[in-house]
Amino acid sequence: MRPFAKSEAAEFYRRLAASRPIPQTELEFLNPFTLLVAVVLSAQATDAGVNKATPALFAIADTPAAMAALGEERLALMIRTIGLFRTKARNIVALSRQIVERHGGVVPREREALEALPGVGRKTANVVLNVAFGEPTIAVDTHIFRVANRTGLGPGKTPRAVEAALEATTPQRYKRYAHHWLILHGRYVCTARKPDCPNCVVADLCRYRAKTAPAESVAAAAANLGPGRTELSGRRGRPARRR
């Protein structure tokens, strides 16, 4: 697979940015702590499923101290509709206690400190750093892993390898929102079973050989999106709501 040239990568992101000027996470949250909790809950679960469980939870526990006081059993009952809820409840209560005891009740904004929390890996830390603190990190989930490999934008055999490839390929001016654009593109256009190539704004740049239909003309037209037309027709990710 021929690697992306810098100019091609820039055009790839330019088109994604034109179709979704201000992308956002679809997880609902109130503050950095509730974002952290929501991201931990989203592992091997859908954002929609997490969003159904968290309003009632965050209404009574939106700080580390309140979450720690809630306790593992009560938390497990409130998130029982989410996969691996017992393990997640244990980790969330434990990380809440650590934030209180080691960080004065404030979610740390350093990667090392975040990854030291129970249940927090590199992907979760990247999401929190990006969404809560505006860091230009790229969190690689299953959607981004698929899009990066399928398109050839950032191929790699592991999430860490894909992250490194995307870091190298993505122009600095696009890194702040890169992972949002890629995840939404993977969720709504470049889907796992049947990518929607006819409505893909980067189809002619994509290295995927088994496109679902001729799409060069669609992508070419999309490349000319102007100020008066910032979004293409078709299914799009809804903006996240912050309650």
Taking Cα atoms as reference points, which of 125, 138, 132 lies closest to residue 178? 138
Where do the domains of the chain lie?
6-23+138-222, 32-131
Q: What is the pLDDT of residue 169?
A: 96
- Which strand (E) or helix (H) includes residue 148? helix 142-151
Q: What is the pLDDT of residue 172?
A: 96
CATH class name, domain 6-23+138-222: mainly alpha
d(Cα 11, Cα 14) in Å, to the nearest integer?
5
d(Cα 80, Cα 151) in Å, to the nearest integer?
37
Q: What is the pLDDT of residue 232?
A: 43
Q: What is the pLDDT of residue 219?
A: 54
pLDDT tens digit string along 77-128?
999 999 999 999 999 999 999 999 999 999 999 999 999 999 999 999 999 9
Given a cut of 50, the residues of the chain with pLDDT beneath it are 226-243
Q: Just give the CATH number of 32-131.
A: 1.10.340.30
Q: What is the pLDDT of residue 6?
A: 93
Residues annotated as catalytic are: 123, 141
The pTM assigned to this predicted structure is 0.85
pLDDT tens digit string along 38-57?
999 999 999 999 999 999 99
Q: What is the pLDDT of residue 173?
A: 96
Q: What is the pLDDT of residue 163?
A: 98
**Can you give the C-alpha Rg of the chain in angstroms?**
19
What does the buried/exposed string (b/e) look like for 190-213 if buried means 16 or more CB atoms within 10 Å of the residue's CB? Answer: beeeebbbbbbbbbbbbebeeeee
